[in-house]
A and B are shown apart, each in its own frame.
Chain A
Amino acid sequence: MNNFNTDKIQYFAIAGSIVFLLFVILLVRNKKIKEEYSVLWLFFGIVFLIISLWRDLLLLISSFIGIAYPPIAFILILIFSIFLILIQYSVIISNLKEKNKNLVQRLGLLEHEIKKLEDKTDKQ
């Protein structure tokens, strides 16, 4: 039991980060994600790649912010990144909602105007 190989998880973490980064890059290349919305994904992908390559970094971070158990520092970074990306979505959705509202209003006003013009030409 004691010769448990902790290197294994490192290989998985490196492979996972690289696959994740490639996946995001592929989505951007195929225009499934706009560049500006891929920034946070790519940034955190790189952060996770760095953490998996440089294992001591996690120890440094946890001792710096006073976490006794280093994996918690990792979970913390993960949760923080997800929060940030979700907040970004709220911003994007709010922005889209405002634009959508303006479009619906403009469309209603224009349709009304077209109807008025049609009525006018019908009378002539």
Chain B
Amino acid sequence: MQILIIVPAYNEEKNIIKVIESLKEQNHFWDILVINDCSEDDTSNVANSFGKAEVIDLCSNIGIGGAVQTGFKYAQKHNYDVSVQFDGDGQHIASEIPKLLKPILEKESDVVVGSRFLIKHEGYKSTSYRRFGIKIFQVINSILIRKKITDNTSGFRAYNKNAIEFLSKNYPADYPEPESIIILAKNGFSIKEVHTEMKRREEGKSSISGIKNFVYMVNVLLAILMNSIRQKIKIKKSI
């Protein structure tokens, strides 16, 4: 069983070492692949110098969706059975990965999403504005795919081989997290949420803030609705 951890990173020179270190500390047999989305800082060298992760450098900034998709393409090419998406900014916790892997390894689900909101807890706090947005995604996505997904924007996920193959061709570029939930569900992939803890960002600021928040919401909702009226993509499942 080959497992690939896909770490998209954009200007994360301050976080990336800690992220790779924490992933290796878990002492698992998984491989780590950092996708450097044309960072302006030293992310690539820092990640490379460590020697514990493979690093792919992209020559233009193509956004988180394109970066993660590069990881799926790599995973498919090198025949990985499972891949885990793990943010390069340090908000995901490496010791939580086994929780994501369990349903995949037990063939219970094609996709597993790590959710901050499945259980009420104190770990992850966010602004009320943000929580409102998350609630809207919850309601809309849940209606569209007829299954409750509590954390649509979570980028902490695990995928099995079929999902990797599918996403290497069809991963959305713009707002990949909520969009991919719709695309995957629509194309017959099973999605399961498990509760995972997440940290607040350690360095730097999240890419989403202020008035951008509103624009982000509108764009994501539009993308979600568009995806829901798209036709099912013809795919060959290998099993």
Contacting pair B57 A105 (CB below 8 A): no
Query: Which of A10-18, A37-45, A57-65, A108-116 participates in binding chain B?
Result: A108-116
Which B46-92 residues sit within 8 Å CB-CB of chain A? 54-60, 62, 66, 69-70, 73-74, 77
Contacting pair A112 B54 (CB below 8 A): yes
Q: Check A104/B66 contact, CB under 8 A, given A109-B73, A109-B74, A109-B77.
A: yes
Alpha-carbon separation in the docked complex, A5 to B69 (Å): 65
Q: Which residues of B contact A107 (CB under 8 A)?
A: 58-59
Q: Which residues of A contact B77 (CB under 8 A)?
A: 109
Contacting pair B58 A108 (CB below 8 A): yes
Q: What's the minimum C-beta distance from A124 to chain B, rounded to whole angstroms? A: 19
Which B35-55 residues sit within 8 Å CB-CB of chain A? 35, 54-55
Contacting pair A105 B54 (CB below 8 A): no
Q: What's the minimum C-beta distance from A99 to chain B, rounded to whole angstroms? A: 12
Contacting pair A105 B66 (CB below 8 A): yes
A90-124 vs B, CB cutoff 8 Å, 1 = contact: the mask equals 00000001101100110111011000000000000
Contacting pair A104 B62 (CB below 8 A): yes
Q: Is B140 an interface residue when CB atoms closer than 8 A count as contact?
A: no
Q: Which residues of B contact A105 (CB under 8 A)?
A: 58, 62, 66, 69-70, 73
Contacting pair B74 A100 (CB below 8 A): no
Contacting pair A104 B58 (CB below 8 A): yes
Q: Which residues of B contact A111 (CB under 8 A)?
A: 56-57
Q: Which residues of A contact B62 (CB under 8 A)?
A: 100-101, 104-105
Q: Is B93 an interface residue when CB atoms closer than 8 A count as contact?
A: no
Nearest A residue to B55 via CB reads: A112
Which A57-86 residues sit within 8 Å CB-CB of chain B? none
Q: Which residues of A contact B35 (CB under 8 A)?
A: 108
Alpha-carbon separation in the docked complex, A98 to B65 (Å): 12
Alpha-carbon separation in the docked complex, A104 to B151 (Å): 30
Alpha-carbon separation in the docked complex, A2 to B149 (Å): 74
Q: Which residues of A contact B57 (CB under 8 A)?
A: 108, 111-112
Q: Is B144 an interface residue when CB atoms closer than 8 A count as contact?
A: no
Contacting pair B54 A104 (CB below 8 A): no
Q: Is B223 an interface residue when CB atoms closer than 8 A count as contact?
A: no
Q: Which residues of A contact B173 (CB under 8 A)?
A: 97-98, 101
Q: Which residues of A contact B59 (CB under 8 A)?
A: 104, 107-108
Alpha-carbon separation in the docked complex, A111 to B74 (Å): 12
Nearest A residue to B72 via CB reads: A105
Nearest A residue to B74 via CB reads: A109
Alpha-carbon separation in the docked complex, A53 to B56 (Å): 61
Which of A100, A101, A105, A112 has the most C-beta atoms of chain B within 10 angstroms of its own C-beta? A105
Nearest A residue to B69 via CB reads: A105
Q: What's the minimum C-beta distance from A64 to chain B, rounded to whole angstroms? A: 34
Q: Which residues of B contact A97 (CB under 8 A)?
A: 173
Which residues on B are within 8 Å of A, measured CB to CB? 35, 54-60, 62, 66, 69-70, 73-74, 77, 173
Some 5 contacts from A to B, beta carbons below 8 A apart, are A105-B58, A105-B62, A105-B66, A105-B70, A109-B77
Which 5 pairs show the lowest CB-CB distances between chains A and B? A105-B70, A108-B56, A108-B58, A112-B56, A101-B66
Given A105-B69, A107-B58, A108-B35, 13 extra CB contacts under 8 A: A97-B173, A100-B60, A100-B62, A101-B66, A101-B69, A104-B59, A104-B66, A105-B66, A105-B70, A108-B58, A109-B73, A111-B56, A112-B57
